[in-house]
Chains A and B, each alone.
Chain A
Amino acid sequence: MDAVEISRFLTGMTLAVHIIFATIGVGMPVFFALAEFLAIKKKSSRYLALAKRWAKGYTITVAVGVVTGTIIGLQLSLLWPTFMRIGGHVIALPLFMETFAFFFEAIFLSIYLYTWNRFKNQWTHFLLSIPVIIGGSFSAFFITSVNSFMNTPAGMEISGGRMVNVDPLAAMFNASFFVRSFHVITTALMTMAFILATIAAFKLLKNKVKEDKVYHQKALKLTMIAGLIFSMLSMLAGDLSAKFLHQHQPEKLAAYEWHFNTESNADLVLFGVIDESTQEVKGALHIPGALSFLSDSSFDTKVKGLNEFPKEELPPLIVHYFFDLMVTFDIFCFVVSGLYVLALWIKKWNPNHKAFLYAILFTGPASMLAIEFGWFLTELGRQPWMVRGILKVQDAATTAGGLQFVTLLFALLYFVLLFSASFVLIRMFKNQPVSKDIEKIESERRGGAL
C-alpha cells in the first residue's frame, strides 16, 4: 500500500471507532435527561435510578469519545497536511464552533455528573442537562458542516491552487449542510434508543433479579417509543438525502443504486451482486420506477447514470452493498419498534413477549451497524475526491515517513480501548441489581426529609 492508501485506511479506522462513541455522545444526554424529567414529574425512584445508571455508563463512553475525537481532530493535519493547508482556513469557522460547543458540553456534563445531590430544587439539576444536550447536538451540527463542505464546497474561489476570497458563512452553510446534519442527529438518537432498548431486553430475557423486572420494562417502553419516533425521522432524513443527492451529487446516488444509463422511470435496485467489468447485476430485486420516485417524487424523473461521468471520477461500486444494509437495518428497527408500540395499544398483545424481546435484542447492534455503513457509503461515495471537484485524495496525503508504524500503533490502541471499555461497562452493571440503587435513592430521600 502506498502513503495515500495507508492514510485513507488509518483515517477510516479512526472514524469507524470514533463514530460509535460520537453517536452515543449525541444521543445519550437526551435519554438520561428524559429519564430524569420523568423521575421528577412522576416522583419515581425507578426513573431516577434509570437516569443515574445511564449517566454512569456514559462516563465511560464519553471518555473514549473525547479521546478518539481529539485523535481525529489532529489526524486531519497529520495525515492530510496539504488539504489542511489549502482548505483548513475555509472550514475553520465550523471547526472552531464545534470546539466551543464541545467545551460547553464538557463543562456542563462535569457539573451534571457530580451534582446529583447538591441542589435543593430537583429541577435545577435537570436543567443542567439542557446545555449538555445543546452542546452535544451543536458539535454534531458543526462537524457535519465540515464534512458537507468536502461534499459540496462553497464560499470560496480557487486561485493558484489555493482557496481564496473565502466567505465563511457560505462555506459553513453549504448546500448539503442541513440535510446531513438532520440525518446525523436523527440517526444518532434512533441508535441510542435501540441500544438502550437492547440492554433492557437482554436484562428481561435473563431475568436474574426478579425485583428489577418492572424497572427494565419501563426502560424498554421509554426507549422503544423514542426509537419508533426517531426511526421515522431517520427515514424522512434518508428520503431528503436521496432527493438532495439527485440534485447535487448524482454520481453518488447512481453508484448507490448501480444505475448506469440515464433514464426516466429508473428502477431501484435492491441487493444483488455486480460483475464490475461487464456492469452485469445478478440476483437483484428491481423495483420499477422507484429510484425516480425516490429522487424527485415522480416516476417520470430522469435520473443521471454512471456512464455520464468520466471513468476516473466514479465512486467505487461497493457502496451499493452498504446502502442496502443501512436501509435494511433501519427498516428492521422501524418494524420492530412499530410492532412493539402497537402491542402497547392492542390489549390482546403482550409487549413483553419473548419473541419481541429477542427481536429487540438485535435492534441496537443493527442500528449501530447502519450508522457505520451509512458513513462508509457516504465517504466512499465521494471518492476519488477529498473536496469534491477541487482536490483529489491522492494529492492530499502526507509525505512523511513512518505511516505504517503509526497505523499499527493506532490499531493496537483502538483494540485496547474497545476491549477495555466493554470490559469496564460490563463490570459496571453486571451483578449490580437496580433494586439496590432504588433502595439507596429512597433512603437518601427519607434522610433528606428528616
Chain B
Amino acid sequence: MSYEMIGITVLWLFLFGYIIVASIDFGAGFFSLHAKLFGESKKVNGLIQRYLNPVWEVTNVFFVFFFVGIVGFFPDTAYYFGTALLIPGSIALILLAARGAFYAFENYGQDSKLSWLMIYAVSGLLIPAALSTALTISEGGYLIRTSNDHVDLNWVALLLSPFGWAVVLLSIVSVLYISSGFLTFYAARAKDWKAYVLVRKWFLMWGAPMIMVSLFVFLSLRVQNKTHFDSAVFEYGWLFIISFIAFLIAGMLTYLKKAHGIAFLFVMIQMGTAFFGYGLSKLPYLLYPYVRIDHAVTNDNMAVGLIIVFVLGLVLLLPSLALLLKLFVFDKAYVRGRK
C-alpha cells in the first residue's frame, strides 16, 4: 500500500472510532436530559454515568488524533479545510468545549443543575451537526476563490444545500441510534431492567428514521457530486448492502431481546461498512476538486516517521484501552454498580 493509503486508512479508522464513542457520549447526554424532563432520571442516570464518567476524556482524544493526523499526512487539507471551516469549525469547538466542561461540572461537581445538564445535552446534538459541515464541504461546490488566489466559504450555497441539511439530520439521528444501541447492551449487562426497557424502546424507535434519512442523503449526493454517487453505487454498493443487512440483524436481535452484545456489534458493522463505503467511493479526492489524496500527501520521510510512531503508539494504546474496557465495560460487578 502507498503511504497515502496507509495514512487515510489510519485516519478513517480513528474517525470511525470517534464517531462510535462520541455518538454514545452525545446521545447519552441527550437521553439523560430527556429522562430528567420526563421524571425518569432515576431509571437511566446511574447507568449512563457509570459508563461515561471514566471514558469521556478518552473519547475526545480520538477526535484530536484525527485532526492532528490529517494535518501531518495531508498538509494541504489544513489550508483548504482550515480556511473554509473558520466559522463552522469554531462553532463546533465552542460547543465541544462547553459540553466537555459542563459535563465535568455537572457530574464531578458538588451539585447538579438543570441548566448545566441542558448545556451539555443540547450541545451534544449540535456538535455532530457542526462537524458534519466538513463532510459536506468536501463534496465540492461550497468554496469560492477570491482574487489573488484566496479561498473562502460560500455561505449561501452551504445554507441552501439540501445535501448539507440531509447530512446534518443524518448525523443527529445516527447519534441517537448508536447511543441507544450501546445503552441497551450496557443496561442488559447491568441487569438494570428499568433502564433497559427505556433505552431499548429508544433504539427501536430511531432505526427507521435513520434508514430513511440515509436514503435521502444518497439521493441528494447524486445531485451534489455525481461521480461520487456513481462510485458509491456501482463500485462499493455491496458495502452498503452489507450495512443494511447488519442493520436488520441488530434490530431483530434487539426486538427479540437476545444477545445484546452481538446486536451492538452489528450496529458497529452497519456503521463501519457504510462509513468505509462512503470514504472509499470518495477517493481520490479529499476535498473535491482542490485536494487529491495523491497530491496532498506529506513527504516520504515524514510519512515513514508517522507510521512508525503510529505502530508504536498502538502497541502502547491497545492494551491500555483493553484495560479501560475491562474495568468499566466488561467488569460485571462495576457495571452493576457494586464497585
Q: Is the CB of A93 within 8 A of B309?
A: yes
Closest approach, in angstroms, between the C-beta of A105 and any C-beta of chain B?
Answer: 9
Q: Is the CB of A110 within 8 A of B54?
A: yes
Q: How many residues of A contact B (CB 8 A)?
A: 77
Interfacial chain A residues near B298, Cβ < 8 Å:
89, 92, 166
A233 within 8 A of B: no
Q: Is the CB of A92 within 8 A of B105?
A: no
Partner of B313, one of A89, A100, A400, A416: A100
Q: Is the CB of A428 within 8 A of B102?
A: no
How many residue pairs link A and B with beta carbons under 8 A? The number is 231
7 extra interface residue pairs, beta carbon distance < 8 Å, beyond A87-B75, A89-B73, A96-B69: A74-B93, A84-B75, A84-B79, A89-B75, A118-B334, A168-B305, A400-B151
A115 within 8 A of B: yes
Partner of A74, one of B67, B302, B310, B323: B67
Contact size class for B?
35 or more
Closest approach, in angstroms, between the C-beta of B336 and any C-beta of chain A?
Answer: 14
Residues of A within 8 A of B (CB): 56, 59-60, 62-64, 66-71, 73-82, 84-90, 92-93, 95-100, 102-104, 106-111, 113-115, 117-118, 131, 164-169, 398-403, 405-406, 409-410, 413, 416-417, 420-421, 424, 427-428, 432
Q: Which residue, of A63, A97, A98, A398, has the highest number of chain B Cβ atoms within 10 A? A: A63
Interfacial chain A residues near B339, Cβ < 8 Å:
117-118
Q: Is the CB of A400 within 8 A of B79?
A: no
Q: Is the CB of B309 within 8 A of A427?
A: no
Interfacial chain A residues near B328, Cβ < 8 Å:
110, 114
Residues of B within 8 A of A (CB): 53-55, 57-58, 60-61, 63-65, 67-69, 71-73, 75-76, 78-87, 89-91, 93-94, 96-98, 100-105, 108-111, 146, 150-153, 298-299, 301-302, 305-306, 309-310, 313, 316-317, 320-321, 323-324, 327-328, 334, 339
Q: Is the CB of B65 within 8 A of A99?
A: yes
Smallest Cβ-Cβ distance to B78: which chain A residue: A84
Q: Is the CB of A100 within 8 A of B309?
A: yes
Given known A-B contacts A63-B101, A68-B97, A88-B75, A409 and B90 have beta carbons under 8 A apart: yes
Q: Is the CB of A409 within 8 A of B54?
A: no
Partner of B321, one of A66, A69, A107: A107
Partner of B302, one of A106, A114, A168, A421: A168
Q: Is the CB of B61 within 8 A of A102?
A: yes
Interfacial chain B residues near A62, Cβ < 8 Å:
57, 104
Smallest Cβ-Cβ distance to B153: which chain A residue: A400
Bound form: Cα–Cα A410–B86 in Å: 12
Closest approach, in angstroms, between the C-beta of A126 and any C-beta of chain B?
Answer: 16
Interfacial chain B residues near A82, Cβ < 8 Å:
79
Q: Is the CB of B316 within 8 A of A99?
A: no
